[in-house]
């Protein structure tokens, strides 16, 4: 064997090894970038948590001051009541002062109970990590991004407005971006299509998305095909989902929807729209006229 061919044969494995090493280095660098981003996100969540705790502490201190002021007011009223009794005041005056004392005491009890309840709710939210700033949550019929969590309220912003939701009104919370998210798809195809082939096309588009340098890093797992989900009036619904990083499910959904539409157009896969079939009942021996003749008859009758 010529020396040149031998050298080329020896060089080829080394080149392949170099390529594999470079690929591993590239993957390690990408993993490092992702880890740095994740660490930055965790740092932001910790800062938001510290702010929430600071707000809670200030609110509790304010409540304690209010309670101290109320108790001081009660002491003043009790002194006035004793003085009034010494001065021989009428029962109406002493009763009025006594009512004010009892009212102030009741306000203190209610205020303390409310502060404790709010603090308990906030402790549950923070300690159980139900949600924090920058999470997207659903409370009742409100869905939006959390901007602030205080002792009394959670502030949520959606596309239209900012919502201030008292913790006392929160009975359940849905967190749409807790640790990871999921882009869920329901794609309708015509009854004449082969659903197995359609699902293969969708799976292939999912693989392309996973390998895309722009969208691949925000997709955490391969597309999971659930299959034929339901039979509609004019379409068969195919359901699947993709696991993504938090807050990235909408980006992935919009891009994959775009690719599905273009691919279906290329392969002539029909995405149907609702059809309606109208049946005309005709009496026996009744003559059926063309639409043009019916319109002409109506115009004649109107004239």
Whether the per-residue pLDDT at 136 is higher than 70: the answer is yes
Please count the other Cβ atoms lying within 10 Å of the Cβ belonging to residue 183. Answer: 21
Position 241 scores a pLDDT of: 95
pLDDT, one tens digit per residue, over 243-268 is 999 889 999 999 999 999 999 999 99
141 phi/psi in degrees, rounded to 5: -100, 15
Q: What angle do CA 53, 54, 57 make, to 5 degrees?
A: 85
Are the C-beta atoms of 132 and 48 separated by less than 8 Å? yes
DSSP-assigned letters across all residues of 77-118: HHHHHHHHHHTT--HHHHHHHHHHHHHHHHHHHHHHHHHHHH
Assign 24 a pLDDT band (cuts: 50, 70, 90): confident
- The structure tokens listed for 141 are 């019929």
Position 279 scores a pLDDT of: 58
Position 70 scores a pLDDT of: 65
Position 177 scores a pLDDT of: 81
* Mean pLDDT of all residues in 268-286: 71
Please count the other Cβ atoms lying within 10 Å of the Cβ belonging to residue 67. Answer: 16
Spell out a b/e string for 31-61, using b for 16 or more CB atoms within 10 Å of the CB, else e.
eeeeeeeeeeeeeeeeebeeebeebbeebee
Note the maximum CA span of the chain: 129
């Amino acid at each position: 064997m010529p020396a040149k061919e031998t050298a080329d044969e020896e060089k080829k494995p080394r080149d392949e090894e170099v390529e594999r090493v470079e690929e591993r280095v590239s993957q390690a660098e990408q993993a490092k970038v992702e880890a740095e981003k994740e660490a930055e996100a965790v740092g932001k969540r910790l800062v938001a948590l510290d702010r929430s705790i600071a707000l809670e502490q200030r609110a509790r201190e304010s409540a304690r001051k209010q309670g101290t002021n109320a108790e001081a007011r009660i002491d003043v009223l009790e002194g006035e009541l004793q003085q009034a009794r010494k001065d021989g005041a009428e029962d109406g005056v002493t009763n009025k002062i006594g009512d004010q004392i009892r009212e102030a005491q009741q306000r203190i009890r209610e205020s303390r109970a409310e502060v404790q309840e709010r603090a308990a709710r906030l402790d549950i939210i923070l300690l159980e990590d139900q949600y924090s700033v920058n999470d997207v949550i659903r409370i009742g019929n409100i869905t939006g991004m959390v901007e602030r969590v205080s002792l009394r309220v959670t502030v949520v912003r959606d596309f239209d407005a900012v919502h201030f939701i008292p913790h006392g009104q929160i009975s359940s919370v849905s967190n749409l971006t807790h640790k990871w998210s999921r882009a869920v798809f329901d794609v309708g195809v015509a009854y004449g299509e082969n659903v197995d082939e359609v699902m293969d096309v969708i799976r292939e588009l999912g693989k392309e998305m996973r390998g895309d340098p722009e969208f691949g890093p925000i997709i955490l797992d391969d597309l999971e095909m659930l299959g034929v989900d339901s039979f509609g009036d004019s379409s068969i619904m195919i359901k699947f989902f993709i696991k993504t990083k938090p807050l990235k499910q909408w980006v992935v959904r919009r891009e994959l929807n775009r690719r599905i539409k273009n691919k279906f157009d290329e392969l002539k896969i029909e995405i149907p729209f609702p059809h309606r079939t109208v049946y005309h009942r005709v009496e026996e021996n009744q003559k059926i006229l063309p639409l043009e003749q019916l319109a002409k008859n109506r115009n004649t009758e109107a004239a």
